[in-house]
Amino acid sequence: MSDGRRPLLAMRGLMTRFHTMDGIVDAVDGVDLDLFEGETVGLVGESGCGKSVTALSILQLLRCPPAEISGRILFHDMNLLDLGREGIRKIRGKAISMIFQEPMTSLNPVLTIGEQISEAIRLHQGMKAPEAWKWAEQMLQMVQIPSPRQRAKDYPHKLSGGMRQRAMIAMALSCKPQLLLADEPTTALDVTIQAQILSLMMKLKEEFKTSILLITHDLGVISEMATRVAVMYAGKIVEEAPVRELFKDPRHPYTRGLLGSVPVIGRKAQTGRRLQEIPGMVPSPLEMPSGCRFHPRCPSTMPVCSKQEPQEVRLGEYRRVQCWLAGC
């Protein structure tokens, strides 16, 4: 990315803090990440590491418990955190859309699929109702829903999980957003449907020139879809790399652990090694370990690791690691 392009989205020192009954939780702690036009960037990590909160912070969709978001989220150089409620509402669903793991969280059960998609189009594109309805039907066709004219009149519960996911993608892309935040978009689906949805997303991304921030715990999905990947652990990005480099030469022990825990057919026969596991669990945000947050689980931990947090080491453009062993 050394061609002087400016990022479409640039997060700088993003912090998302929740004030809970049990204390203050820093769910996202100083995240820096760039995303360029037409690019798909993966954000990976275990559940509870802050990936979804990062995406929800971009669109300021965090309500309960009350979240305090600070730092900068620059979209076309404009800080989304300065826009206020009305300003961000105009961006949501138009310039930036989001799709979720469970479509029922964003589809309204008492409105037909057509009503929901066309409402978004009318709101953001200023189209008249009949024109918006037609566009909604075309979007359903584009996401390969059979009999789109009929399906547009159906309520969400009448559609299968895969169809609902397609409908949600249709709704998210109906206003041709520049950025799509996709939060575990295929996790709840069967493997065959998963593959269909992923290839559909790639096709539509090309068609609409949309950039994607793809949030997943599934490194297989990342290898298929993303050009660059950021690995998140306990609210921080611990490694970032172009996807091929990350798979070939992971530098952070956590990234190595994640890659070692991906099932590969014939791995034992080829390498003599079984599937690895990362011992322990992601720490509670209320009891973050001192120093490097990964030290209680790290197979390479050293005395300094529990005392001092490692600095981020840059190994190249869009190649960085936060570990005392980086560069060794």
Which residues are near ligand SF4 by CB under 6 A? 252-253, 292, 294-295, 298, 300-302, 305, 310, 323-325
Smallest distance, ligand SF4 to C-beta of residue 326, A: 8
Name the residue nearer to ligand SF4 (CB basis): 135 or 294: 294
Smallest distance, ligand SF4 to C-beta of residue 238, A: 7
> Burial level of 275, CB count in 10 A (0-12/13-18/19+)?
exposed
Give the DSSP per-residue string, 64-119: SS-EEEEEEEEETTEEGGGSHHHHHHHHBTTTEEEE-SSGGGTS-TTS-HHHHHHH
Smallest distance, ligand SF4 to C-beta of residue 306, A: 8
Name the residue nearer to ligand SF4 (CB basis): 131 or 312: 312
Smallest distance, ligand SF4 to C-beta of residue 250, A: 11
| CA distance linking residue 158 with residue 109, whole number of Å | 10
| CA distance linking residue 112 with residue 157, whole number of Å | 10
> Burial level of 139, CB count in 10 A (0-12/13-18/19+)?
buried
Name the residue nearer to ligand SF4 (CB basis): 94 or 256: 256
Backbone φ and ψ for 187, nearest 5 degrees, come out as -60, -35
Name the residue nearer to ligand SF4 (CB basis): 135 or 324: 324
Beta strands 67-75 and 9-20: pairing type?
A: antiparallel
Name the residue nearer to ligand SF4 (CB basis): 42 or 310: 310
Smallest distance, ligand SF4 to C-beta of residue 53, A: 22
Name the residue nearer to ligand SF4 (CB basis): 272 or 303: 303
Indicate the residue type of 269: A
Structure-block tokens of residue 20: 């809970």
Name the residue nearer to ligand SF4 (CB basis): 93 or 253: 253
Q: At what angle do helices 161-173 and 129-142 cross, to 10 degrees?
A: 130
Residue of 34, 42, 28, 16 whose CA lies nearest to 75: 34
Give, in degrees to the nearest 5, the angle at Cα 46 between 33 and 203: 60
| CA distance linking residue 193 with residue 243, whole number of Å | 24
Smallest distance, ligand SF4 to C-beta of residue 44, A: 16
Smallest distance, ligand SF4 to C-beta of residue 297, A: 8
Name the residue nearer to ligand SF4 (CB basis): 14 or 326: 326
Question: Do the Cβ atoms of 107 and 116 come closer than 8 Å?
Answer: yes
Smallest distance, ligand SF4 to C-beta of residue 135, A: 49
